[in-house]
Amino acid sequence: MDLKKLASRLIPDDDLPSLEECEKAYPPRVLKEGAEVTRLAPSPTGFIHLGNLYSALADERAAHTTGGIFYLRIEDTDEKRKVDGAVESVIRSLRYFGINFDEGAEIDGENAYGPYYQRRRAKIYRAFAKDLIERGLAYPCFSTEEELDEIRRVQTEKKEITGYYGKYAVWRDRSEEEIYAALEAGKPFVVRLRSQGDVNVKHTFRDAIKGSITVTENDQDVVILKSDGIPTYHFAHAIDDHFMRTTLVIRGEEWLSSLPIHIELFKVLGFALPRYGHTCSLMKVDGGTKRKDPELSLDFYRAAGYYPAAVIKYLMTILNSNFEEWAAKNQGEDYTAFPFSVSKMGKSGALFDLDKLNDVSRDELSKLSPEGMYGFLNGWVAEFGTDADRAHFKDRDYIIKILALIMGAGQKKRRKDIERAEQGVRLIDYFFDDAFSPEYSFRFDGKTVNDMLKNFADSYDENDDNSAWFAKLKAAAAAAGFAAENAEYKADPSAFKGNVSDAAEIVRMAVTGSPNSPDLCTIMGILGRERSLARLSAAMRAE
Ligand code: GLU
């Protein structure tokens, strides 16, 4: 068969680059020895989840700890899944978590290895598909969906491997007449690889993450160009990662089963195989059980106000198990100083534990200054807060005073009450009258509550220091039937309504709406006399 003629008939484009031109247009990168070129290659579905951030962080670290390049390629060959604005959203989400690309789609100055959208690289794929047809390594297949379904049905019934291979590859050896007749009839076709592999042959393969694994040769005549002339993931992957000069392909382990196909494609295309690292999927620990992939969008973490540095720090602990120890020894050092290593990544089942993330988050946030915390919370409020939140945050000095108290600034041991922005903003709501709607839960009868609150309100002086404030609280408590001293109470509990901390709880409930709070005297000082007294009397009336 005249394969050149067939190739021109199947791929008639007369403006395709020559293979040499492609090699020249995308020369090997000049980087220092050991530098890794990695990429994130999402489909533009607009949905980016924690697992993507985890992978992106591994890619980014692998590139940037070796003086390499990390780029963004958009795998938009599946038009149906495309969502407008998805690329910007990926970039924005990752940037929020401190992950930046060196080059790629929508990054400044489309660089020499672009375009980074696969749809814009159609000519390159078609040039190589044409070459494979000319060399007899690819052929047209006119099988319909129904015919393929039937093949699959038979294979399933016979318990054979499903797919288009061997005797099931019904268009593999068709005659010239049959092929041209189908073309004349205008039948749609795909282009398939004419596999040279043998499933009985196994090779040892070194995965950068999983270590030594066994791969079986591919014998599937996989589709390389779909009927609309657009390449499949397999074909585009081989061509792009070759011409973008990727040295290390880090991708999810769900691709491991396609590795034999990729090995064969690189071989027939005459390209050197990059290294591969297949990451294990992130499993979420959920009420003690493990669930595959949190599937939670990164936007969820942003909207909930997770502190980006904490999320990254936590993901680093999952990526490299020695990170935690390093971080403990190198307090104050940025995570980028850690000697990240792909080979130390977990081989199976990375566990994502929300409680652990929350702990890391409290820890990291507790290291901020009140001003730094104001900046973080205010950023969240601007994007996700309510109008009331935005109005509250206009009073920067007031909020910083609150935060200094909430965080225990200046104290030996910092408080770790703030876990993330949303929760932190809600935590300080009670400092604002318009957000203060307490549901009092007093543990004493109405008269006792009213006595305590009235006694204390009558003696309250905003100029009192902490000890004068406390002395007045004790006096008010004694007058309301509580023990002013713990020792008295212990000696004869039945003689009192409660001890002084029970009495203080009444005041605390009135002022903050909760039985627990940081230092009450300071809270009243921040609220000011008028607001504090108004709250004491509002609680009295409520009883
Ligand atoms: N577009 C593929 C995906 O979104 C990329 C896989 C890869 O990194 O090669 O899963």
User: Where a domain ends, among 321, 342, 365?
Assistant: 365
**379 belongs to a structural domain:** yes
Give the Å distance between the CA of 126 and the centre of ligand 1.
21
Answer whether residue 543 shows pLDDT above 50.
no
77-104: average pLDDT? 86
Which of the listed residues 47, 90, 118, 237 should we mutate to test ligand 1's pocket, taking the one with most ligand atoms within 8 A of CB? Answer: 237
For 408, left (φ over 0), alpha (ψ -120 to 50), or beta?
A: left
pTM of the predicted structure, to 2 decimals: 0.88
Residue 241 domain boundaries:
4-13+123-279
Assess whether 228 and 176 both reside in one domain. yes
**Of the residues 409, 435, 461, the one at which a domain ends:** 435
Are residues 352 and 374 located together in one domain of the fold? no
pLDDT band at 297 (very low <50, low <70, confident <90, very high): confident
Average of pLDDT values for 420-430? Answer: 97
Residue ending a domain, choose from 321, 338, 365: 365
Determine the pLDDT at residue 542: 56
Per-residue pLDDT averaged across 507-532, rounded?
Answer: 97
CA of 23 to the centre of ligand 1 (A): 24
In a domain, 201, yes or no: yes
Give a yes or no: residue 86 inside a domain. no
292 and 243 within one domain = no
Residue 47 domain-assigned?
no
Q: Are residues 156 and 180 in the same domain?
A: yes
SS3 category, 484? coil
Query: Is 43 domain-assigned?
Result: no
Give me the sign of the Cα torsion angle 157, 163, 167, 168.
positive
237 CB within 6 A, ligand 1? yes
Task: Please report whether residue 199 resides in a domain.
Answer: yes
> In this predicted structure, what is the pLDDT of residue 283?
81
User: Out of 33-42, 83-92, 116-125, 418-427, which region has the weakest mean confidence (pLDDT)?
Assistant: 83-92
Which pLDDT tens digit goes with each residue over 245-273? 999 999 999 999 999 999 999 999 999 99
Q: Are residues 275 and 336 in the same domain?
A: no
Do residues 380 and 295 share a domain? no
- Residue 188: strand, helix, or coil: coil
- What is the per-residue pLDDT for 47? 78
Helix 122-134 to helix 3-10 angle (10° resolution) is: 150
Q: How confident is the model at residue 90 (pLDDT cuts 50, 70, 90)?
A: confident
170-229 per-position pLDDT tens digit: 999 999 999 999 999 999 999 999 999 999 999 999 999 999 999 999 999 999 999 999
C-beta 242 within 6 A of ligand 1: no
Considering the domain boundaries, does residue 298 fall inside one?
Answer: yes
| Co-location of 129 and 242 in the same domain | yes
Q: Which of 73-77, 85-89, 157-161, 411-415 has the lowest mean pLDDT?
A: 85-89
CATH code: domain of residue 288: 1.10.1160.10
**CB of 525 shorter than 6 A to ligand 1:** no
Q: Chain-wide mean pLDDT for the chain?
A: 94
In a shared domain, residues 326 and 210? no
Is the domain of 154 the same as that of 207?
A: yes
The conformation of residue 165, written as its DSSP 8-state character, comes to B
Same-domain pairing of 454 and 422 = no
User: In total, how many domains does the chain have?
Assistant: 4
The tens digit of pLDDT for each residue in 139-152 reads: 999 999 999 999 99
Q: In angstroms, rounded to a whole number, what is the distance separating the alpha carbons of residues 189 and 293?
A: 37
Residue 541 has pLDDT above 60, yes or no: yes
Predicted confidence (pLDDT) at residue 465 exceeds the cutoff of 80: yes
Reply yes or no on whether the pLDDT at 448 is more than 50.
Answer: yes
Ligand 1 atom index nearest CA of 251: 8
- What is the rounded (10 degree) CA torsion for 493, 497, 500, 502? 110
Summarize the confidence of residues 445-469 as an average pLDDT.
96
Task: Clarify whether residues 8 and 156 are in a common domain.
Answer: yes
Give the CATH number for residue 460.
1.10.10.350
Same domain, 414 and 463: no
Residue of the nearest CA to atom 5 in ligand 1?
41
Is the pLDDT at 240 greater than 80? The verdict is yes
Q: Tell me, in angstroms, the distance from the centre of ligand 1 to residue 441's CA.
A: 54
Residue 351: predicted pLDDT: 83
The answer as to whether 292 is a domain residue is yes
CA-CA distance, 87 to 486, in Å (whole number)? 64
